[in-house]
Amino acid sequence: MKDFDVSVIGELNIDFILNQIDSFPEIGKEILSRQMNVTLGSSSAIFASNLSSLDTKVAFIGKVGQDSFGELILATLKNKHVNTDAILRREDLKTGATVVLNFGEDRAMITHPGAMEDLAFTDIDWATVGRSRHLHLSSFFIQKGIRKDVPSIFKKAKEIGLTTSFDPQWDPGEEWQMDLEGILPYVDIFLPNKKELLHLTGHGSLQSAVRHIKSLANTIVVKLGNEGSALFTPDGEVFQPAFLNTDVVDAIGAGDSFNAGFIHKFVGGHPLPACQEFGNMIGAYSTTASGGTGAFSAGSNIHQNVKERFGYAEKQHD
């Protein structure tokens, strides 16, 4: 028996979310936001928090500053029952922060990486990882301190018996340099969205991009936003349409929530199409409240809520 279902190695930051704006700002001009939220940010933390809200046992490995933002992150994760024992704190670093401007279903973001760039391979608590069944890693390009070591991280996780998943996320520098040949053979579930996959492979279509990496990858799951998702395995491919929310508050963390839904089912031993469908539904559910974790309030029955909202039949693939 393992102490944790999933260990997450990743970045941590606070999100300042500005909603109800009429347009994106222009240089030299000022616009107004009629709503602001300060909440847990970062792909990895949103994934971990929402996965834990689905009754999966989660541990987090990361780094924050010795400041009020770091305190807020730790308190929020603990409130969601995420184990934070392997999160390091440094007095000489600032905790990362992102300003998010929401405009309809689109958004613009500015991030100060802070401690996110400082997490190193030697900071990883492998004892915690070893007490887990699965390892997830996100935000490859932001985490400069471990970027070159990501192949070694996944290789070591496989050697000690874990299953693995990887969401590369967006490259702020838009250079898209990644050792796919060194990483993907050790990744059980590869979770890019369509734009990320096209940039990573240099291809112009989903099918050609998948063909480019199919010999390297195990299972590829491509998030297609409000169109749903596509699953590619050696046995074939499955497209599943989205569960549409007609009253989107914002789409922050929808992809991370998809990951949480998928991996929740995956570590539970469910068939991959069932994991995919549940991921679609959890991604849609996350858009019903502000911020990546707003819909996943502590103590609420997420499974019942999504059944009522989307008419989800949880056992239809079992």
pLDDT tens digits for range 46-78 = 999 999 999 999 999 999 999 999 999 999 999
CA distances from 318 to 16, 56, 154, 201, 313 (A): 40, 19, 29, 34, 11
Q: Which sequence spans correspond to the domains of the chain?
A: 4-11+43-95+117-310
- The pLDDT of residue 298 is 58
Q: What is 94-158 written as a DSSP string?
A: PPEEEEEEEETTEEEEEEE-GGGGT--GGG--HHHHHTEEEEEEE-TTT-TTTGGGHHHHHHHHH
- The pLDDT of residue 292 is 82
- The pLDDT of residue 105 is 65
What is the pTM for the complete model shown?
0.91
- The pLDDT of residue 299 is 54
Residue 224 exposure: Cα atoms within 13 Å on the Cβ side: 18
Which of 5-14, 105-114, 166-175, 298-307 is least confident?
298-307
User: Rounded distance, CA 80 to CA 41, Å?
Assistant: 14
Q: Residues of the chain with pLDDT > 70: what percent?
A: 96
Q: What is the DSSP letter of 203?
A: -
Mean pLDDT, the chain, integer = 92
- The pLDDT of residue 3 is 96
- The pLDDT of residue 14 is 94
pLDDT tens digits for range 72-84 = 999 999 999 999 9
Mean pLDDT value of segment 86-110: 89
Indicate whether 258 pLDDT > 60: yes
Token pair for 298: 């502590």
- The pLDDT of residue 318 is 45
Question: What would the CATH number be for the domain defined by 4-11+43-95+117-310?
Answer: 3.40.1190.20
pLDDT tens digits for range 120-162 = 999 999 999 999 999 999 999 999 999 999 999 999 999 999 9
Q: In which band, very low, low, confident or very high, does the pLDDT at 300 lie, cut at 50, 70 and 90? A: low
